[in-house]
Structures are given as structure tokens and as C-alpha cells.
Amino acid sequence: MMFAVRLQQITKRFAQTLANDAVDINIRQETIHAIIGENGAGKTTIMEILYGFYQADAGEIELFGKKKKIASPQDAIRNGIGMVHQHFMLIPPMTVAENIILGMEPVSRSGVLQLTQAEEKIRKLSDDYGLEIDPQIKVENLSVGLQQRVEILKALYRDVEILILDEPTAVLTPLEVKEFFQILRRLKAQGKTIIIITHKLEEVLEISDDVTVMRNGKKVGELPTSEATANILANMMVGREVLFELNKTPVTPGKTVLKVEDLCVTVDDKPRLKNVSFELKEGEILGIAGVEGNGQTELVEVLTGLRKLDSGTVWYLGDDIANLSARKIRELQIAHIPADRAAHGFLSTYSNADNQILGFHYRPPFCRKNGFLDFSRIAKNAEELVEKFDIRPPLADIPTGTLSGGNQQKVIVARELSQQPRLLIIAQPTRGIDIGAIEFIHQQILDLRSDKVAILLISAELEEIRSLSDRTLVMFEGEIAGEVSSDTFDMEKVGMMMTGHH
């Protein structure tokens, strides 16, 4: 059997942490190989070593049976390795062809750019692999799913044999994922070797031939996918038993906490929310499903005082809270866990203790009347939350920016829940965090529900919405496209609603 890639005893150290510890990975030619692991398991690092982005401290790389030194991404491409990153490296106002040839522009002897030739080659590649991309269209006019195909084309244009994809489905709708998998199968059929980094177990089981599981920088297993189940993989990833079924007890909804009527918001002359109305009761979890960018962000911003609305009312326990400031809304015991934690949720260089008072820092018990902060109270608060929410490392005085994504999220969740909210607005609560933390945060949300808190859950992960919410609204282009209750939740149907098909 021929291996496309053999990584042997790869070790990489960043300052104090051992990102990869003597990792061996063997990737068979013309297969789809999944690399899975929690955040910080070292899966992206080892692939970036293969792509020449980092140099391993020790270990060897073998490509198609030959030992290779890969000094840079350019070097990797020369050796037939391409990588599509989680964040696309495309220039929106340029055309597909212009983006693809960037860095290796074909020119005639006199130095004139030969764009038509390149476009021809790209069109042919696109046809060969069924990508359906017009090389002359501008990237800004393409959906995220199609932009991803441009990234793949970029690699194919450079004649790569091995394609590394980092969390490729994170940005796709369920329908797009299906199409994307078909493309991967076609690439495999035509002789390419594909490595896919992911943390979604169902996808691993569906698409891959082999799977490597990593944990804490080490390889903990490598097996044919046919021998794997979600349970086996999850246990290997986390290193213990993982409960897939949540402990969801029946709760009778109480009185109405939030009532939104005819909400309209316009951003840059484009309507982003159109007559959105809904109701949310005590002890109820209302899910908002939808492809990102269909008004969810604006909805959250309006409800949390970060954006002014054009018209409509927001009733909270009988009072209209529309257009109140973010501080006023916090004072009404409305908690907000933001979708993008780095951009909104915490201050990266502030300590955990300081981040755990953010938003409440100006009032007792954390601040005295004279404006001086009460550091003994702040420290005590931090200690309690670090312990209760199992934040690791369990230190109150280290910068939150140095924690893993899951622990950063726990810092935010701990803070927002610490002030006894009556309404919790929580967006993408488990994005980019590991299974252990997901399990923990989901259980926290359900516990709040039992405590009669009203919860608005915005998520792009249908599975998350399905398992948590009592009712679900689907948003499409700023409107509520439909509603489903938990007992009639049908993935297919919701997926259709998300893309505007009824």
C-alpha cells in the first residue's frame, strides 16, 4: 500500500506547551483522512507543519515514500500539498481567476498578464471536478460555500496531490455540506488525497476512509472509519465517557418574559430585520436557527442595546425596553453571551478576575461608592466562578486571552450567569470549543431553564438547536421563515427553511 503522507515522530513545542508530542500519522493515497480532536489537541499545528507553516522540532515527513524537508508553504505547494484555511485568503473585489493566479501570474515574455489562458485552465479544472465556478465572476458576489470552492480551485490550479482542509464545514449550510462532500468524493475518485481537520463526528463517519484522533498533542488512535462509531471517537477525543443525551426535564413555561413585536432594522439602507415578532416565556428555550447573516446578529444587537431599531416594540416583563442602553439592559437582569467571544465577550489582556466583573464593574459589590474597585470582592468572585465553572487552569489572575477557547467561553458564561439573569440571550454558545466544554455549557443552559429563566438561543448548529430548544424559529433574510416545536423538529425541513425553501 502506498502512503501519500507519512509523518513520523513529529514534535513541536511552543514556549511552555508541547503542541505535538512524537506524533505518527500515515495517510493512504487516494483516501479521505480525517484528523479529529478537541481544540488545542494539536491537529491544526501538525497540519501546518506538513504545509510548511511551522518547522517541527523533531521528526520526519515522507511524501509518496520520499523523505522531504518542507521549509515554507511555497515549498509545500511545490511538493504537491495545498491547504484551505478556515478563514479564506481571497480578495473580494477581484475575480475568481485573478484570485487564483495571485502569486504565480502567467505572463508572456514581454511581461503581459495572460489572464485568458488562466481562465481557460480554471474553467477546465472546474468542469473536471464539477465545481461549477465561473472564473470571471468577482469573489464578493459568491456565497461562502462557493468561495470555499474557489479556495479548492486555487490549490488544484497549483497541481496539488494532497489537499488539507481546516474545519471546512464550519461555514456551510446543511445543503452546502452535502454538495461539498460530493466534491470531495469526486476529488478522491480522480486520485487526490484529502486530509480534513474537523471536530464534527457525524461528518467524519460520513465522509472519511480513515481517522486519526488527537488529544493533548498526542495521537491517541488511528483507525479505519468503518470500525469507528461516534461514541468510540468521542471517548478517544475527550479521554472519558461522553454523554450524548442531555438531561432535559420537562418544564412548564411560566409568564411571558420577552415579547417582540414588528421589529424592523435597517443597516446601510438594507433592511436586516423585517417585522420580526415572537414571544418567550419563563422556563422556555426558544431557538433561532438560520444561516449566519440572515438577521440574527441584528436581532441580538437590538435586544441587548447595541443597536437602535427603526420601528417595533420590545416588551420585557411588561416594559418597553427598545433602544435602552446596553448598561440599562444589563441592569434589568438580561444576560448576553455573544456569538464572537473574542470581538465582544472578554478583554484578552485582562485577568480572569477582571473579565468576570466586566459589565458589572461599576457597581456594588465590585465597586465602592467612591469609585475605587473592591479587589477582595473581585478576587472572591473570581475564585468562586473559577471553581464552579471548572475553568482551567484554575487561576484568577492570568489573562483570559491565554486560555483555550472553551475556557474563555466558560469565563463569559460564568460572568453572565453570576448575576441571576431572568432572560438569557445566548448566541453560538459552543462555537469552536471542545466536547467537554460543550457538554458543560449545554447542561448549564438546561439548568437555567429549570430555574425558570427565559432563554433565547441563537445557533448555526442545527443539532444544538434541536437538542436544547422547546420551540425553534427559522430566520431567512431578516424574516421569520417558520416555526417548529421540539417534537416535530425535522432537520431536512428546517434546513430547507434556512435557505428560503418552504
Partner 1 sequence: MFSKKFEIFLLPVISVFAAMLVGAILIFSVGENPLVVYWIFFKNSLFSLNGIGYTLFYATPLIFTGLSVAFGFRCGLFNIGAEGQLYIAAMAVTLVAIWLDGWSAWFIIPVCMIVSFIAGGIWGGIPGLLKARFGGHEVINTIMMNMIAWSLVNYLVVGPFHREGTQILETDFIPEAARIPRIHELIPIIPKTLPLNMGFVVALLACLVTYLILWKTRWGYEIRAVGISNSVSKYAGINVNKNIVMAMFIAGGFAGLVGISEVMGYRYTFHDSFSSGVGFIGIAVALLGRNHPVGVILAALLFGALIRGSLFLDLNFDNLSKDLVMVLQGVIVLFVATDKLFKKLLSYVGIRGKEA
Q: Is 250 exposed, middle or buried (0-12, 13-18, 19+ CB in 10 A)?
A: exposed
Instruction: Tell me the C-alpha distance between 12 and 18, whole Å.
Output: 6
Task: Tell me if 42 contacts partner 1 by CB under 8 A.
Answer: no
At residue 127, φ and ψ (nearest 5 deg) are -65, -45
Using CB under 8 A as the binding rule, whether residue 217 contacts partner 1 is answered as no
Query: What are the DSSP calls for 144-185, one per residue?
Result: HHHHHHHHHHHHHHTT-SEEEEESTTTT--HHHHHHHHHHHH
Cβ burial of 393 (10 Å; 0-12, 13-18, 19+) is exposed
Which of 16, 110, 249, 488 is close enough to bind partner 1 by CB under 8 A? Answer: 16
Angstrom distances, CA of residue 356 to CA of 174, 188, 372: 36, 48, 17
Of 433, 458, 438, 162, give the one whose Cα is nearest residue 299: 458
Q: Give the one residue of 86, 349, 419, 485 binding partner 1; rule: CB under 8 A.
A: 349
| Footprint on residues 265-324 left by partner 1 (CB under 8 A) | 304-306
Report d(CA 462, CA 396) in Å as an integer: 34
**Side-chain-facing half-sphere of 17: CA atoms under 13 Å:** 12
Q: Which among 108-116, 154-162, 273-281, 368-376 is the span making contact with partner 1, rule CB under 8 A?
A: 368-376
Any residues with CB less than 8 A from the CB of 379 and at least 6 apart, and which? 353, 396
**Residue 174 or 359 having the CB closest to partner 1:** 359
Among 283, 345, 406, 429, which residue interacts with partner 1 (rule: CB under 8 A)? 345
User: 67 or 328: whose CB is closer to partner 1?
Assistant: 328
**346 belongs to the binding site for partner 1 (CB under 8 A):** yes
Our finding on whether 18 is near partner 1 (CB under 8 A) is: no
The one among 347, 388, 447, 490 contacting partner 1 by CB under 8 A = 347
User: Long-range contacts: 15-20, Cβ < 8 Å, 24+?
Assistant: 17/217, 18/217, 19/45, 19/217, 20/45, 20/46, 20/49, 20/56, 20/217
- Residue 324: CB minimum distance to partner 1, A: 10
User: Residue 68: beta bridge partners?
Assistant: 61
Q: Is residue 326 close enough to count as binding partner 1 by CB under 8 A?
A: yes
Residue 363 gets which letter from DSSP? S
Q: Which is nearer to partner 1, 121 or 422 (CB)?
A: 422
Q: How many residues sit in the footprint of partner 1 (CB under 8 A)?
A: 30
Q: Which of 327, 394, 490, 491 binds partner 1 (CB under 8 A)?
A: 327
Q: Is residue 325 part of the contact set for partner 1 (CB under 8 A)?
A: yes
Under rule CB under 8 A, residue 343 binds partner 1: yes
The least distance separating partner 1 from the CB of residue 88, rounded to whole angstroms, comes to 22
DSSP per-residue letters across 443-493:
HHHHHHHHTT-EEEEE-S-HHHHHHH-SEEEEEETTEEEEEEEGGG--HHH
State the nearest-atom distance from the C-beta of 398 to partner 1, in Å: 10
Stretch that binds partner 1, among 27-35, 154-162, 313-321, 328-336 (CB under 8 A): 328-336
For partner 1, which residue of 71, 86, 92, 362 counts as binding (CB under 8 A)?
A: 362
- Does the protein bind partner 1 through residue 1 (CB under 8 A)? no
The CB-of-196 to partner 1 minimum distance in angstroms stands at: 32
* By the rule CB under 8 A, 419 interacts with partner 1: no
Q: Which cell numbers hold the place of 176?
A: 452546502
Give the span between the Cα atoms of 310 and 328, in whole angstroms: 19
Q: Is 14 in the site for partner 1 (CB under 8 A)?
A: no
Instruction: Name the minimum Å distance from CB 392 to partner 1.
Output: 20
Per-residue mark of binding to partner 1, 447-466 (x: CB under 8 A): --------------------
Within residues 116-145, the interface with partner 1 by CB under 8 A covers: none
Interface with partner 1 by CB under 8 A: which residues? Answer: 15-16, 304-306, 325-330, 336, 338, 343-350, 354, 358-359, 361-362, 367, 371-373
